Chains A and B, each alone.
Chain A
Amino acid sequence: MLKINNLHASVEDKAILKGINLDVKPGEVHAIMGPNGSGKSTLASVVAGKEEYEVEEGEILLDGENIDELGPEERAHKGVFLSFQYPVEIPGVTVTNFMKTAINETRKAKGLEDMPANEMLKMIREKSEMLEIDRKFLSRSLNEGFSGGEKKRNEIFQMAMLEPKLAILDETDSGLDIDALRIVANGVNKLKSKDNAVIVITHYQRLLDYIVPDYVHVLYNGRIVKSGTKELAHELEAKGYDWIKEEVGA
């Protein structure tokens, strides 16, 4: 589904990604771990199409198609979803109106009519219940004054509404207490199917107790330096990242 070949990317002439290779197949969950500043969030943003990052070399293929030249909205229309580490506050746009606009613009891009209002409302109700989101919350301005946990839960609510093919969760666990973590992880697990894939970017292992990865990759200094199964995450939790640095540094 997602194939990244020798990806080099930079921001303001500073190289961040230095040759990433990744192959994510339908139905799989991949975890990307690594110390701060290793390039995890950059990788997520580059795949989602953030324009301030320059792809210097390599390619990003989604279902075999190079998406490098596509804008973020076109990638979203093809099923890419990024759950932001720091969701942006947008005063004046309610969660509901934002969702309606996002869904109908995506449908428009696919040549479909707007989703009927009652169907939209039903979907909003179902998905918000799944994530235990209060109805009042939906008429508030997007992310404005939300707590850290509310913001993350709102990201997963958007994911549930948009039903992406490839979801990238960028540090979705940061700022979540254990109850919220469980709710969010539950939501993600319910959305998982044999046809879609999830990339979980995290610094810590605890989210991976709930969203169990098929593969774990360690990103360090712009490269994937180690890949393994979920046991690798436990090892990292126990031993920290220093041994990886030593292995690589050697």
Chain B
Amino acid sequence: MTQIMSLKEKLVSSFMAFENTVDIDSPIHDIRTEAIKAFETEGFPTKRQEAWKYTSLNSVLKHDYSVFPKHEEALEFKDVKKYFIHDIDSYKIIFIDGKYSSHLSQTTHDGIDVCLMSAALTKPKYRIIVENYFNKIATKDGISSLNTAFSAEGAYIHIPKNKLVEKPIQIIHFSTGNEAALMLQPRNLIVVDENSHVQIIERHQSLTDNPVLTNSVTEIFANKRAIVDYYKIQNDRETASLIDNTFINQKRESIAKVHTFSFGGKLTRNNLNFYQNGERIDSTMKGITIIGNKQHVDHNTLVHHIEPNCESHQDYKGIFDDKATGVFNGKVIVEKEAQKTNAFQANNNILVSDKASINTKPQLEIFADDVKCSHGCTIGQLDESAMFYLRSRGIPEKEARALLMFAFSNNVLDSVKIPEIKNRITAIIARKLGVNIGFDL
């Protein structure tokens, strides 16, 4: 307990020093100051809070994290290539121990802005966007406020209207282990204007076994008729933990899709929030979680249906082995005005080991009367009769198991539009399941 107190105290007392390193006259100085106060009051979430009932941060908060990494480390592309989706042409915003790596990155200002939060927060030409969008939808709870207080670096993406961004944008955070333990707080702002389309891939990757805690906040604005495809690849080492807070504000007729692939990490918490501010909006969130050992993945989703004729689709699959634990908490709010809402939620799980567990909880709050809302969750084991069927055709037990797990999570990959991502995810799953078979999905 004292150590948890000390991380909180350390962060609070570091705030002054932090503000001195960034521009004190920045328009977000006041926002940061408010945020540190909120964090000081709220602190880190505990299991006493309903939304954190099944996820304890105690084990990840016990380390003495460096808040400001001292060293700067260069990485050679060839050494980290495998963490990129490298077989496609893409923009890249790459960070090493929280610092921007121009060497590994490929940004642009050619018609669109794919660059850095640090630039957006300090340069006058971005001021209007920052004033209009920064911290407008991130919640004011302790953990998001902590990020807001220390927000200085991350990805800044602004796509003006009528732009189809053909190259996906990769945002990758590497941690090198230069610090005995490192805490990172990336802050991303993504604004996609009318009728534009963007695809983003986000990944956090630790390169050593030194503990890393990432508390990330991403605000995404999908304006009228915008399309946002967002892929989160979570396959980190088992000494790295991630609290991902993503907020998506959608305007009318926009489409936003978030795929979250969780295969690694010690503790992963995904707070994924969609706010529908307009009619005929489509929000999709899908996930595949395959974990083992003592890994923990918690998906906490929210879809807020505010206006009529909108849709939301949630489809999360989980496979839990060894002593792994999972949580799915899917909240759907349908406001009184949001008639003709179509909200679908599914969470299906397989427990491979009898020591693994999953807590799944749909939470529907419906105030409109003309809506279609469905939800379903299942928890099961692998079908033994299917296992016998596959094995009787000569497919060994391990491969049969893997094939059934592939099949189980298959439909989540149907909506992945970038084939290279699909291939990569398939390869990670095969490796995770310890098989090398050529079946494709």
Contact = CB atoms under 8 A, between A and B. Distances in A.
B276 to A, nearest CB: 31
A149 B408 CA distance: 25
Per DSSP, are chain B's interface residues mostly helix, strand or loop, or mixed? helix
Interface string A103-120: 111100100001000000
A73 B408 contact: no
A161 B396 CA distance: 18
Contact of A50 (B388, B399, B437): B388
B389 A93 contact: no
Given A92-B410, A104-B438, A73 B389 contact: no
Contacts, number: 91
B395 A73 contact: yes
A188 interface: no
Contact of A88 (B385, B395, B409, B438): B385
Contact of B394 (A50, A91, A106, A114): A106
B383 A97 contact: no
Given A73-B395, A84-B389, A87-B389, A101 B404 contact: no
Interface residues of B, number: 29
A90 B407 contact: yes
B440 interface: yes
A72 B394 CA distance: 7
Contact of B407 (A91, A100, A103): A91
A235 B391 CA distance: 38
Nearest to B414: A92
Nearest to A45: B388
Given A93-B403, A93-B407, A101-B399, A76 B439 contact: no
Contacts of A49: 391-392
Contact of A71 (B385, B397, B399): B397
A109 B404 CA distance: 20
A91 B389 CA distance: 13
A71 B393 CA distance: 11
B52 interface: no
B441 interface: yes
Interface of A: 48-52, 71-73, 75-77, 81-82, 84, 87-88, 90-93, 97-98, 100-106, 109, 114, 141, 158, 162
6 contacts: A48-B388, A49-B391, A49-B392, A71-B396, A84-B392, A98-B393
Sorted nearest first, the 8 A-B pairs with minimum C-beta distance are: A92-B407, A92-B410, A76-B394, A106-B394, A72-B391, A102-B393, A88-B389, A73-B391
Given A76-B392, A93-B407, A101-B395, 11 more contacts: A71-B397, A73-B396, A76-B391, A90-B386, A98-B393, A98-B439, A102-B394, A102-B395, A105-B396, A106-B394, A162-B394
